[in-house]
Chains A and B, each alone.
Chain A
Amino acid sequence: MNSMYPFLFLSFFMFVIGLGVMIARKNIIAMLLGIELILNASALNFVTYTRFVNQNLDGHIMSLFIIIIAAAEAAVGLAIVIRFFQVRESIHIDDAAQLQA
């Protein structure tokens, strides 16, 4: 593969789908899935530019941290979801329209 455009389009596609998931899905866990897609899209973008533009592995490092942060985010987010479910008996995003329980 000599061109970076397929990767960029792939990344863009993932990003837009992730956004779509964030916007359209009412399930909080599904929205977390969308966040994972968006993070992966950006990570893929970093790796693509490392490969085709500056070639010094900084993109890899950045992707690595994105994975770390995604793991942390998934842990905390899912904990919040579980907590929310304990309080509200629901994981519908519109049930989380109020700060107060």
Chain B
Amino acid sequence: MDYTITTVAWIVLLPFFAFVINAFIVKKVPNVAVGISCAAIFGSFLLSGRIFFDFVFGKYSADYHVHKVFNWFDLNGGGQEFVMKMGIYIDNMTAMMLFMVTGVAFLIHIFSTYYMKEDTRYGRFFVYMSLFTSAMLGLVLSDNLISFFIFWELMGFCSYSLIGFYYEKEDAGNANIKAFMTTRIGDVFFLLGILAIYFQVGSFTFVDIYAAISSGMFTDATVTIFGFGLPLALIASLAIFMGTIGKSAQFPLQVWLPDAMMGPTPCSALIHAATMVAAGVYLSLRMFPLYEIHPFMLPFIATIGGITALGAATIALVQTDFKAVLAYSTISQLGYMVLGVGVGAYNAAFMHLITHAIFKACLFLAAGSVIHSLHDHHTHQHVQEMPRMGGLKNKMKFTWFAMWCCTFAIAGVPFFSGFVSKDRILGDALVMAMHNPYYWFPATLGFIGALLTAFYMCRMMFLAFHGEPRDKDLYDHIHEEKFSWNRNLPLLILALFTLGVWFSGSLTGQKLVKVASDKVEWFDTLIVKPKTENFKNYQKQNWGPVDIKSTISFPVSKYDSNHGLSEEEAHHVHSVHSIGAIASIIIAFSGIFIAFMMYIRKSWNPGWWVNTFSTWYRALQNKYYFDDMYIKGIIQKGLIPVNNFLAWVDMGIYDKYAIDGWEKVNRCAFTVSKWFDNIFVDTIAVDGTGASVRAFNVILRTFQSGKIQFYIIMIILVLSSYIWSLA
């Protein structure tokens, strides 16, 4: 396949043009707008699929990538070189992301035609969705941090619009502001990190950054902040990781994502499960070589991920809102991905990103299917509360089936995708813990979180779909679910891809016979950490649309089954992974078993736990008081006093003394200058000139009288004086 910018950019441009066209026609012909959006995303899906199949089946090399650049603008002059380059960077990770994003987005578009059909702003939703998808695809294709950041912010705006889609609701309005402002904190640091990297590397491009890393540019570089020379690698990593924290809703900026469930459920599926929050993890994976430099960084990331994974899982235990459970499970799973980054499980983290995107999109769509069915005829609202559900299995078979598949996946049941990916993250965490005892902490958090994940997901399923209907009136009004292409087909397709075989096996055919062994996974082969030394040579090459492949040959990588370790170490790793896998299976089934005992058999009373640990229960219900802490603590105690203080400074000091004082100074200066003007300039200089001229005039007029006879007298006088003095 010929990769040029003009062929690849259509992946981004198709949804973008759909957005532009729809923005004009959506008021008149919303159905056409919906059709255009779906067609555009399907076109992107086909193009992405072509790239995906080319990369995965055609090239099948971990090192193969395509890098095309063009000059965006050129500010060269006066010896300063500043060429802003844009471009595309496609490696295996990009290809998979493109395929996942377009596929999931296309299915969500299809589902949205069902879910949003009755909505008054049916068409506008697709306008935002198109722009959002376009931004995400642009971010994935970006070859440099600046365009990455542009699309990153564009997604922030789209999520703002989609979260506040029902802007009549005050909660939705507050939620989108909260989401926007919270992610903004991370984005500011992200931008600072970009600049920190730029000033060291002199380029925004990923390959330049990799080359700089491999040439040791970051090893000893320091940045001076308030007089302290801090390692640049640490500062830049932390700043960029702050972007991940904000966008991927990591501790401590996780507060926006649960509130973001105010948006329509399909947009939750797209934005807050599959793509946008994944962008943060994607950024972490792209910048992974930078994180590796400073020894402090990866343990820090792992700790953040572990805390997020466990903390969100515990909060999800007590949620009664159907979507809130999913929201917290999203945060928790994102925590696992970040944990995976932190423990160096590069391809496991990316795999979890893909698998999570699929099963969480499916879960949200299924939740949308459920919520859309539960229509309260008294309040005319959709019902999201699990206590009013129960026994839905009988009414919606397809949704129930798809949701159980996803629940098994997220819980880590064997042969489902979540088991493959999460087990690898936890296994790598265990391996790291063997080497560095510190990693026991995040690894333990991850394992406890895995238990809780299995529990709360099954709790949700049991409460919603099993048992007796708790709200009989609501239950009776539910229509029997019949198979429809735009409601059930996306769910079933996504459910199909929750099977672990897609990710663990060898899709490519080369190693088909070895499917049983986990050593030949295609994912493991294709997704490896960027080998930064490969990029060393094209730091200084001429820019332009250069095909990297044509300048440097990349041999098809020979899969190293030992991860580059010695035989003994590889055996050790393998055994640790086996222990981790067994532990994961035990944990997953015990979580399901606990849920089963509590909510189906009702042998164990959940109320006992609630009463016994009532303090913790309240803490969990209040989300560890994070919102309270932010609002009461930081905002009310911190920001508002600061705000008031600044207002006081502004009005009390600045306005009063500086502005008014300046006015006084001006007035005083005006008075002085007026006085000066009157006295010196007018009176002395101007009038004084005239007066002096007049005074001299009185004297000189005596001589210059026009009287010839007086002149004669003076001539005689002067001549006589000459003669007197000369004679």
Contacts and interface: CB of A to CB of B under 8 A. Distances in A.
Nearest to A19: B716
A93 B706 CA distance: 10
21 contacts: A19-B712, A19-B716, A22-B709, A22-B712, A23-B709, A23-B712, A23-B713, A24-B709, A31-B708, A31-B709, A93-B707, A93-B708, A93-B709, A94-B707, A96-B706, A96-B708, A97-B705, A97-B706, A97-B707, A98-B706, A99-B706
Interface string A1-32: 00000000000000000010011100000010
Q: How large is the interface on A (under 10, 10 to 19, 20 to 34, 35 or more residues)?
A: 10 to 19
Contacts of B712: 19, 22-23
Nearest to B705: A97
Nearest to B708: A93
Q: How large is the interface on B (under 10, 10 to 19, 20 to 34, 35 or more residues)?
A: under 10
Judged by DSSP, the binding face of A is: helix
Interface in B689-710: 705-709
Contacts of A96: 706, 708
A6 B630 CA distance: 129
B700 to A, nearest CB: 15
Contacts of A93: 707-709
A23 B709 CA distance: 5
Given A19-B712, A19-B716, A99-B706, 18 more contacts: A22-B709, A22-B712, A23-B709, A23-B712, A23-B713, A24-B709, A31-B708, A31-B709, A93-B707, A93-B708, A93-B709, A94-B707, A96-B706, A96-B708, A97-B705, A97-B706, A97-B707, A98-B706
Nearest to B712: A22
Nearest to A28: B708
Contacts, number: 21
A10 to B, nearest CB: 20
A37 B213 CA distance: 116
A22 B714 CA distance: 12
Contacts of B713: 23
B7 to A, nearest CB: 94
Contacts of B708: 31, 93, 96
Interface hub of B705, B709, B713, B716 (most chain A Cβ within 10 A)? B709
A96 B713 CA distance: 17
B530 to A, nearest CB: 99
Interface string B180-191: 000000000000
Contacts of A94: 707
A98 to B, nearest CB: 6
A13 B126 CA distance: 127
Contacts of B706: 96-99
A60 B706 CA distance: 37
Contacts of A24: 709
A94 B709 CA distance: 9
Contacts of B705: 97
Across chains A and B, which 6 residue pairs bring their CB atoms closest together, nearest first? Answer: A97-B706, A23-B709, A22-B712, A93-B708, A23-B712, A98-B706
A21 to B, nearest CB: 10
Nearest to B716: A19
A24 B716 CA distance: 14
B719 to A, nearest CB: 11
A91 to B, nearest CB: 13
A10 B707 CA distance: 29
Interface in A56-101: 93-94, 96-99
Nearest to B709: A23
Nearest to B707: A97
Nearest to A93: B708
A36 B73 CA distance: 97
A98 B707 CA distance: 9
A45 B709 CA distance: 25
A48 B712 CA distance: 27
Contacts of A97: 705-707
A36 to B, nearest CB: 15
Contacts of B707: 93-94, 97
Contacts of A22: 709, 712
A27 to B, nearest CB: 11
Nearest to A94: B707
Contacts of B709: 22-24, 31, 93
A10 B296 CA distance: 128
A79 to B, nearest CB: 17
Interface hub of A19, A22, A96, A99 (most chain B Cβ within 10 A)? A22
A81 B230 CA distance: 104
A16 to B, nearest CB: 10
Contacts of A99: 706
A50 to B, nearest CB: 22
A99 B708 CA distance: 12
A93 B708 CA distance: 7
B718 to A, nearest CB: 14
Contacts of A23: 709, 712-713
B178 to A, nearest CB: 91
Contacts of B716: 19
A15 B712 CA distance: 14
A23 B715 CA distance: 11
A40 B255 CA distance: 125
Nearest to B713: A23
A19 B709 CA distance: 10
Contacts of A98: 706
